[in-house]
Structure 1
Amino acid sequence: MYNETTMRTETTTVPAALPMPQIPVTTSVTCCFILAVIYVGSLYVWSTKHSRDHPSTIKRRFASVSFVMLFAPFFVYCFSSPELLEREHFPKLLGFRWLGLWQAIVIPYLLTALLFLGPIFVNMQTESIRIYFDWNYWSGSFSSVVWLRNHVMAPLSEEFVFRACMMPLILQSFTPLTSVFITPLFFGVAHMHHIAERLSLGVELSTAVLIGFFQFVYTTLFGFYSAYLFARTGHIVAPFLVHAFCNHMGLPDVQELWQLQFWRRIVAIGLYIIGFAAWVFLLPVVTDPRIYANTLYWNV
């Protein structure tokens, strides 16, 4: 029988969603700006004559961003509301917790794969998907510092600094939805440094700026998605895995698409549309915070 004792039991087993303590907007925005500058600056503290893809450059940058990752959480700890720090475990603020972990690993990854339904079909037609079943491919990948940068270190460091350390601060000054649209701006601007790198390689100014602007738009749009995943799931593993997957897939290869036979091309285009439409429809559904036991950053 449903009685008062049952009500008390349910109340104690399901954590109540409490309002997020607030800090001044100037504090949160300034901290995020400084973190973005420190992250980008760490890539250029080394004096080198080599390109960004040279192994020595990559290894030095690994060391730099690792230091930034160790340093960044202090901003969250020092400038967060004392009330929030007393109420919640600090690792939880950064997106490290057990509740809802497997959901955060599996669901956002499959959702993002749905977004790439068309490109995945194209890869299957060109037989490039077979490389994933080749041991030499994986052994070669894990021994390549470029591959490790693109699929491990870059997603891990960027998501940790720009999501795990910036979002907790911004969320203490803005609503979750507003925060999702603010932090990606820091993420997008942080990628503008690639303009200087292209200029150093002899690329024309107009071309470098155009590519840089396109990269800013792309990274900002991805930042919206990544920040949304962090706020909705309360887990850093969700945006990290999605970031690594998106880096691997890259932008759709239109030239490869048009090389397919006519009927396969039609199917591929249909899957592009279906995948995107399904992703838009399912995004708010499968990221429901209740699935991930997230009562901290997105109260429902």
Structure 2
Amino acid sequence: MSHDAELQAMYPDSAEDGVFVPPAGVCWVSVLCSLLLACSYVGSLYVWKNDLPRDHPTVIKRRFTSVLIVSALSPVFVWAWRQYTGILPGPSLLGLMGIRLEGIVPAATLPLLLTMVLFLGPLIQLAMDCPWDFVDGVKVGFDPRFWALCASDMRWLRNQVVAPLTEELVFRACMLPMLVPCAGPSRAIFTCPLFFGVAHFHHVIELLRFRQGTVSGIFLSAVFQFSYTAVFGAYTAFIFIRTGHLVGPVLCHSFCNYMGFPALSTALEHPQRLALLSFYLLGVLLFLLLLFPMTDPLFYGAAPVCSLAPSPRSLCSS
């Protein structure tokens, strides 16, 4: 059955001439549910009373508990949204959230490779300044003791595992299926990151609380972080809609957390800055050229979230 035929069957009174009209009030419900999800996620970080900074192991462990509970309950928001709006037929709840087996291998590799292309300059810079040679790096990567050491580091677990998994589950896998029916795929990828960016403003509270900088400096940092996280959120939302998988955004998020924001100032002062800046530029150009080919839905199978998209739905097709 074609996409338009599915919509006609799902909403016989809402589709005319193949143009999907969302059920009345679905946008308000979707925005409200997304806002509640964002507030629940951020609020869970502050249910524990303490006077310790956010990087203290005790604080991290407690926050692990609360965000994992919220993340485990987040699919309930999507289920309740479907029940209330009547958007019940179609893909399964897990399918809409990008948890499926079809196309799992390319979904776990191609978006990550694409993101590594974007970070070509920083990766080359890292290789230039690394004291290890390639063989030593490979040995460390396959050493179980190295990964055991990482797993015992609460900050590493937060930045590389828990934060990418829970944030992508809540802010992409749960929010996008609710936003796509009324906003469409293109507008949803720019709407969803607003919740993600605003959610990171809670860092301002902690910086002010522990006096980690001047007030103006803290707020300028918050504005920069909001901009960066919003752009990054739009990128992972794009990947989620194009691939229909959660695994790609999670791995890309983890990789970007490891790399951090590109150190352009350091690159400009590097002894081999001309070669290095060339790789920075080459990475951006290759990324733009490969963005759509490497996220072609043909590699991943039909994205379940796209079955809820009104026309036009160009992002959901090759």
TM-score (structure 1 length as normaliser): 0.89
1:243 matched to 2:253? The reply is yes
Is the Cα–Cα contact under 8 Å of residues 195 and 208 in structure 1 kept in the other structure? Answer: yes
Question: Match of 2:78?
Answer: 76
- Of stretches 280-289 and 174-183 in structure 1, the one that deviates more from structure 2 is 280-289
1:131 Cα deviation from its structure 2 partner: 5.1
Is the Cα–Cα contact under 8 Å of residues 232 and 297 in structure 1 kept in the other structure? Answer: no
1:171 matched to 2:180? The reply is yes
Per-residue Cα deviation, 1:19-78 (whole angstroms, up to 9, x for no partner): 666341101001001110110000000001111000110000000001101211111011
Separation of aligned partners in 2, 1:128 and 1:88: 50
- Letter of the aligned partner of 1:247 in structure 2? N
Separation of aligned partners in 2, 1:178 and 1:258: 36
Q: 1:215 to 1:258 in 2, by over 3 A?
A: same
Per-residue Cα deviation, 1:199-221 (whole angstroms, up to 9, x for no partner): 01112211110111100000000
Match for residue 110 of structure 2 among 104, 107, 110: 107
Separation of aligned partners in 2, 1:49 and 1:113: 38
3-state SS in 1 of match to 2:182: coil
1:137 Cα deviation from its structure 2 partner: 3.9
Separation of aligned partners in 2, 1:128 and 1:212: 34
Separation of aligned partners in 2, 1:132 and 1:38: 41
3-state SS in 2 of match to 1:174: helix
3-state SS in 2 of match to 1:150: helix
Question: Match of 2:13?
Answer: none
Per-residue Cα deviation, 1:124-162 (whole angstroms, up to 9, x for no partner): 111256556423543321210100000000000000000
Question: Match of 1:160?
Answer: 169
Question: Match of 1:65?
Answer: 67
Runs of 4+ in 1 over 6 A off after TM superposition: none
- Letter of the aligned partner of 1:151 in structure 2? Q
- Of stretches 152-161 and 84-93 in structure 1, the one that deviates more from structure 2 is 84-93
Aligned length: 284
Question: Match of 1:92?
Answer: 95
Is the Cα–Cα contact under 8 Å of residues 172 and 237 in structure 2 kept in the other structure? Answer: yes
Q: 1:128 to 1:28 in 2, by over 3 A?
A: farther
Q: Which runs of 5+ in 2 are unaligned?
A: 11-21, 307-315
Cα root mean square deviation, aligned: 1.9
- Letter of the aligned partner of 1:54 in structure 2? H
3-state SS in 1 of match to 2:200: helix
Is the Cα–Cα contact under 8 Å of residues 297 and 303 in structure 2 kept in the other structure? Answer: yes
Is the Cα–Cα contact under 8 Å of residues 77 and 85 in structure 1 kept in the other structure? Answer: no
1:260 Cα deviation from its structure 2 partner: 3.4
1:253 matched to 2:263? The reply is yes
Q: 1:295 to 1:35 in 2, by over 3 A?
A: closer
1:188 matched to 2:191? The reply is no
Question: Match of 2:295?
Answer: 287
Question: Match of 1:116?
Answer: 119
